[in-house]
Structure formats: C-alpha cells, structure tokens
Amino acid sequence: MHPWIGPMIIQRPGEVIRNGPGIFLRGAERRLPLDFLTVLRKRPVIAAFRDIESLRIQDLNHTDVLYILGGTIFDLPHIVEQARRYRKLVLVDIDLIKGVGKDAPGIRFLAKESQVDGIITTHSNLIKSAQKEGLVSIQRIFVLDSESLAGGLSVIEKSKPDAVEVLPGVILPKIMKRIRVKTSIPVIAGGLITLEEEIREILASGAIGLSTTSSRLFDFSAKG
C-alpha cells in the first residue's frame, strides 16, 4: 500500500468529503483519501506543466502532485484519468486555464465535473469557494519587495488557504522567518528554482514543498 493512502471511505454519488486541510475525496465509488500535505512531506517536488503536450504522467516516478498551468477545461478529463491511474494529485491554476469561470460556479465545475484535487490562484475570493467544494486551495503571492510581502501575508491571514505559494521561490530561505512571524500556514516555493541545492535550502528553511517546470528536477529525492 502506498504510504500516504489511508483507510477506505464509502461515499454517496456526487458527495464530497473534506476532513481538515487537504484531506478529500469525491465520486460515486469507494475512493482512498489523499492527504495533500502528507504527500508533499514524502515527495516535496511538484511537477508543473504549462505545455500540456509535454505531460507524461507515467514517467513521473518521484513526484505525486501535478500543477496544470495551461491548456483548457477540455484537457482536464484525460489528465485527471491518467493521474488517478498513477495515483497523482492534480491541482489546476484557475487563473491560467482557459474555458472556466474565475468564480464560484467555475470552482464547482472543476470539483464536480473535472474532478481535480485542488486549485492554485492569486485571488483570495476563490479560496473559500474551493474549500467549500472540498478542493485543496493554494494561494500564490508574488514577493517583489518588503511591501508586497507584507501585503501578501495580510491577504493570506484573511483568506486562510490550505497552503501559500511564494514566488519567486528561490528567495524563500531569506524571508521564511518573516513569514513565520505572521502565519503558520504551510508554505510552498515556486519560480526560478533551477538547482537541487536550491531545493535543499528551500526545504531546510521549512517549506512543505516546491513547484517547478524544470523536468530535470522532477526526480529530486529529499533523501538524496
């Protein structure tokens, strides 16, 4: 049994069960609950894809979470089907994917029709809608200077996502202490991460994980 798979839970058709941050399942059949944070603690690298054509889920042996940063809603059924087959979680950047509304009905569509596992967004008003639908919610903040960091953390305190993603992620080790003064929400790093040494520094700073589009980093092992 996969180490992050828990006990079986029975659902009614169309029901969404959420039991704390990141624990979720959906559908009409028996499904295994997947804990997003537990997954990242074991395999902290999130494989991010802008070019859907380059996505080969069967080749991702060292990552269990996928970010979909491009494509359209018509691409999602096949991606989710393949991800389920290989026991991966699929999180969609609702700000970037085409064909879905950036609102509560759009979130509901992603949860009930596309059956993704979570969303990524810069919009705090979508966080509660995602959580209501049983989706993992990750809010991105862009840190350009001290003022943008303070502003981003203020927004996070109010929206309370399941995790916050800091961009560019490569600066996270330098600002993690300042983040922890304001919030205990799990932190993910994203952007401009190109070296395994940077990954180690990010994880050592206290990040729960990191996202990257660099395929050569997908095989990083936290034990290495």
User: For strand 163-167 and strand 209-212, is the pairing parallel, antiparallel, or unpaired?
Assistant: unpaired
pLDDT at 5 over 90: no
Q: Which residues contact 198 (CB under 8 A, 6 or more apart)?
A: 170
User: Which of 201, 199, 200, 205 shows the shortest CA–CA distance to 187?
Assistant: 205
By C-alpha distance, which of 159, 160, 108 is closest to 135? 108
pLDDT at 174 over 60: yes
Please give the pLDDT value at position 35: 83
Instruction: Tell me the DSSP string of 37-97.
Output: HHHHHHS-EEEEES-GGG--GGG--S--EEEE-SSBGGGHHHHHHHHHHTT-EEEEETTTS
pTM to 2 decimals?
0.85
In this prediction, residue 222 carries a pLDDT of 76
With 70 as the cut, is the pLDDT of residue 108 above it?
yes
For position 104, what pLDDT does the model report? 97
d(CA 15, CA 37): 22
Please state, in angstroms and rounded to a whole number, the distance separating the CA atoms of residues 142 and 196: 22
pLDDT of residue 13: 35
* Amino acid letter, 66: L
Q: Where are the domains of the chain?
A: 16-216
Residue 208, SS3? Answer: coil
For 114-162, how does the pLDDT look when each residue is reduced to its tens digit (9 = 90+)? 999 999 999 999 999 999 999 999 999 999 999 999 999 999 999 999 9
Q: Do strands 34-35 and 23-26 pair parallel, antiparallel, or not at all (unpaired)?
A: antiparallel
Q: Does residue 62 have a pLDDT over 70?
A: yes
What is 16-216's CATH topology?
TIM Barrel (3.20.20)
Least confident of 6-10, 22-26, 58-62, 65-69: 6-10
Question: Which of 19-33, 43-57, 90-104, 167-181 is predicted with the least confidence, judged by mean pLDDT?
Answer: 19-33
Phi, psi of 161 (to 5 degrees): -70, 170
